[in-house]
A and B are shown apart, each in its own frame.
Chain A
Amino acid sequence: MRYIEQQTVVKRMNGRLIANSIFKYIFLAATLIALLALVILLYRIVTQGAGHLSIEFLTNFASRFPEKAGIKAALVGSLWLMLVVAPTSIILGVGSAIYLEEYAKQNRITTFIRMNISNLAGVPSVVFGLLGLTIFVRALALGNSVLAAGFTMSLLILPVIVVASQEAIRSVPGELRDASYGMGATKWQTIVKIILPAAIPGILTGSILALSRAIGETAPLIVIGIPVIIQFLPAGVMDTFTALPMQIYDWSSRPQQEFQTVAAAGIIVLMAVLLFMNSIAVIIRNKFDKRY
């Protein structure tokens, strides 16, 4: 007695094959819709803003007159911001990931911490802005400086970096740790010589993606009171500054039609910066990507 009859199998085959191809097209459509939205967005921004792009746009400060308005202060301000955010968030983030993965004992407290770091990654950025306002701007009296904004942004992206680094460290095969410990290496030697080199592609990719989020965030900057119209460049981390998304937000909320063009040009610059950072992430990943 056979349980599977060849005839029924053949009879059902058609329906199965149809379902198979229907789902293929559903998923293709999902991808295309997302892609289409992106293309339309890019097309609008580029056609609107490309005309305003020029060397002067990059070297001029902001202005009341749309034709003279430039993005210099915001571009340099965003770079200053990254100068604070990158080291702060990567050092703290990778440090906590190493602690949680390699040192911390598995118990209820560490499970609780791990869980909440993932939760923190989902907290709205404006909440981090309020935190930054309370702690860095007011309590530590840093004012609306590069440092205060940088620390706030670091807190915002820290959970993302911690989670990405934890994943990267966890994916290093246990056999490599065994081999290192088996030769009498200390935990620190094993981390520096074996685990980090193997985890660095994942860590850097995650970190750079987190940094590109920080460079595009506006809400926390608004909350901690970063100004928009600035006619000078910050000379140090204690100076105030403005950032690309702030400048774009300001331009796009102005009544004059011409400023919409300026805003679009600003968006192109911001996207160029993001694209540049993401391609660094890709290059690093490919360079360090090793098989094991």
Chain B
Amino acid sequence: MTESAKKAVYETKQLNLWYGSNHALKNIDLEIMENEVTAIIGPSGCGKSTYIKTLNRMVELVPSVKTSGEILYRGRNIFNHDYGVEELRTRVGMVFQKPNPFPKSIYDNIAYGPRIHGIKNKKILDEIVEKSLRGAAIWDEVKDRLNENAYSISGGQQQRICIARALAIEPDVILMDEPTSALDPISTLKVEELVQELKKDYSIIIVTHNMQQAARISDKTAFFLNGEVVEYDHTDTIFSNPSDKRTEDYISGRFG
């Protein structure tokens, strides 16, 4: 696919965000392309998690959050009054920092999303569960224990269950907020391979602390610092030939 044929899923225009009086995001302009992995890197407190949570408006669960500017998702401003957050979040799945399966069976975890959106037919649910678990490359490991509590499996498996759960709502975009920070290296590798696989069908935005991870798996990388986007470019360029001194300092480990 050529560069020009790809469409933008997200266009962020002059986004500002405040937590009370704390100006957490400043004039963010970013265009995120479909079927790509976009990594967001930066030191702690730079606003990268805040930004990704703004993309599905989860950030609004924090009281006293104020925003200005626009985020167009597939051309529609997600802050519009007639754009319901529930509708947005069925298009945009999210995977969190800590694996957070529900205290239910593996099956019920995956079927949760489809069920809340009104699917009751057992056969269809069965198919969705299998497809999602296969999509998250964990079907073979759990297919015989679908009725076991999701807490009975390892942390790495739990995180892939959470990815499968996000896939079950058949999203367009998957947001990942440091999905491997609580996992061991082998589980991390599995999640990374999975991300590579998933980008064929989904657009993925991943926040990560781990710069090698960003370099390994992403197509584009945005470097955040103090609530601003310092640099946004192809991952190769960011890591081999950054145009901003601060990016270079950060990726070479001089701070952060």
Contacts and interface: CB of A to CB of B under 8 A. Distances in A.
A182 B58 CA distance: 7
Contacts, number: 73
B149 interface: yes
A185 B58 CA distance: 12
A180 B166 CA distance: 10
Contacts of A198: 103
B63 A185 contact: no
A181 B89 CA distance: 8
Interface in B94-115: 94, 96, 98, 100-103, 112-113
Contacts of B56: 182
Contact of B112 (A177, A193, A291, A292): A193
A178 B100 contact: yes
B158 to A, nearest CB: 11
A176 interface: yes
Consensus secondary structure, chain A interface: helix
A194 B98 CA distance: 17
A183 B89 contact: yes
B219 to A, nearest CB: 24
B174 to A, nearest CB: 11
A179 B86 contact: no
B165 A176 contact: no
A15 interface: no
Contacts of A231: none
B176 to A, nearest CB: 11
B173 interface: no
Interface string B112-123: 110011000000
A176 B150 CA distance: 13
Contacts of A182: 56, 58, 89, 93-94, 96, 166
B102 A184 contact: no
Contacts of A290: 103, 149, 151
Contact of A184 (B96, B116, B151): B116
Nearest to B101: A179
B100 A184 contact: no
A189 interface: yes
Contact of A179 (B61, B102, B149): B102
Nearest to B87: A184
Contacts of A184: 85-90, 113, 116-117, 169
A236 interface: no
Nearest to B88: A184
Given A176-B100, A182-B56, A184-B86, 5 more contacts: A175-B98, A183-B112, A183-B166, A185-B116, A197-B103
Complex A-B, nearest 4 residue pairs according to Cβ-Cβ distance, in ascending order: A175-B100, A184-B89, A182-B94, A184-B90
Interface of A: 105-106, 173, 175-186, 189, 193-194, 197-198, 290-292
